[in-house]
Amino acid sequence: MSKDGSGVRPASKNSIEITFQFRGQRCRERFKLKPTSTNLRRAEKQRAAILLAIEEGTFDYTATFPHSARARCFYTASGKTERIDQYFTDWLRSQEKRLKASSHDGYRKIVDNFIVPQFGSLLLPEWKRKDVKVWLQSMSCGNKRLANIQSVIRKALDDAVDDELIDHNFMASYCYQKRADPREEDDIDPFTPDEQEAILRCCEPAMANQVRVSFWTGLRTSELIALNWSDVDFVRECILVRRAMTQASKGKAEATKTASGRREVKILMPTRLALIAQKSHTFLEHGPIFLNPGTGERWTGDQQIRDAWVRILKAAGVRYRWPYQTRHTYASMMLSAGEHPMWVAKQMGHRDWTMIAKIYGKWMPSADEQAGKKAEAVFGLGDSAKAENSPSCDFCREPVRKLS
């Protein structure tokens, strides 16, 4: 910067240097002009024009200074200079056919609400990891939201590298996390048997059937409303879960979120009775099992369910928990009754039972007085009989093994 603060100064006997800020970076460029009073004024006007173009978003560095080393920082190998807002808009459009509607809607919300407002005016080549890191550090959301945001950025930059818009993905193998504070409340908040009965008493018959099935299958709301009667096998006593319907899918059923989500759920007696009762309301061979009582048509998303759920819980006098807690209720009931965690995991669509143990561990029986008796009866009877007739040690009162 010049001493007078004008951003213009003589650089040599035959050149004038101007200084300006562009995209958060200080830039210095030279004109091959003798630094006379007239030429210095010309340089000041040129600099003023550049500043105006920057402010209006029309400044083209490569066109103004085509031979500048600095200009190459804003020029890519493909000959295109992409702004982040334009790139992510085009990238989202390209993902529509590759992603489920719900996933695409999640990406769109992250792009529109977080990435573009913060970085939209930058060019892709000048976007750095430190910019993202400083931004994430300032956010008050949890690590799950931070991970989702970084995942979208990482995937978009992978495609930008493939399209030769940038040389490398600065988010590759990187994920910023905050130190998580201990939770004050447990997110798992199942309904008690008394609460379940109070809720069912306040439902219309068809809605009561739907709620009972949700309590006794552990289906996600999106999976429950996508069920057709053709998905129910009363002979094999199972429900085939293969579709889901979210708010973002706009009334169209999609494949389940994961491969493990496509599963067979055993029909327990409460579910069987509810489905049999529901036949008088909606039974058609390929039609939906559950309908929105307000419209008489299939539910189109979880928001409609939540609206009805609020009214039902209020009428029942039950403390509000969101509908997903019916899934947690199913898991807690199964585990508290002693069902095998691996079986519960498969019923709920988890790939393995580590997630079940992590989330629902406190509902697993841990002090069963009969624990070990089954194994003892099957495998240990012979040794027990021998032990009764063998000498014992006075100190530990244990059978003493005879040395051969």
Q: What is the pLDDT of residue 397?
A: 45
Q: Where are the alpha helices (DSSP H) in 202-339?
A: 205-217, 221-224, 269-282, 302-316, 325-336
Q: 78 pLDDT band (50/70/90 cuts)?
A: very low
Same CATH fold assignment for domains 84-162 and 193-363: no
Q: What is the pLDDT of residue 241?
A: 92
Higher confidence at residue 336 or residue 91?
Answer: 91
- 46 contacts 83 by C-beta, under 8 angstroms: no
Under CATH, what is the fold of the domain 193-363? hpI Integrase; Chain A (1.10.443)
d(CA 242, CA 262) in angstroms, rounded, equals 5
Q: 279 pLDDT band (50/70/90 cuts)?
A: very high
CA distances from 398 to 371, 384, 390 (A): 21, 12, 9
**Distant-in-sequence, close-in-space partners of 382: CB < 8 Å, separation ≥ 6:** none
d(CA 211, CA 299) in angstroms, rounded, equals 14
Mean pLDDT (whole number) for 358-379: 61
pLDDT > 70 fraction of the chain, expressed in percent and rounded: 80
Looking at the chain, the number of H-run helices and the number of E-run strands are: 17, 10
176 has a pLDDT exceeding 80: yes
CATH number for the domain formed by residue range(s) 84-162: 1.10.150
Q: 256 pLDDT band (50/70/90 cuts)?
A: low
pLDDT, tens digit, 9 for 90 and up, residues 193-214 = 999 999 999 999 999 999 999 9
68 has a pLDDT exceeding 70: yes
User: What letter would DSSP give residue 228?
Assistant: B
392 has a pLDDT exceeding 70: no
Higher confidence at residue 164 or residue 4?
Answer: 164
d(CA 315, CA 233) in angstroms, rounded, equals 34
345 has a pLDDT exceeding 50: yes
pLDDT, tens digit, 9 for 90 and up, residues 288-312 = 999 998 888 888 877 788 888 999 9
d(CA 243, CA 230) in angstroms, rounded, equals 12
- 121 contacts 82 by C-beta, under 8 angstroms: no
Mean pLDDT (whole number) for 384-403: 44
- 332 contacts 356 by C-beta, under 8 angstroms: no
What residue ranges do the domains of the chain occupy? 8-74, 84-162, 193-363
Q: What is the pLDDT of residue 168?
A: 86
d(CA 235, CA 28) in angstroms, rounded, equals 79
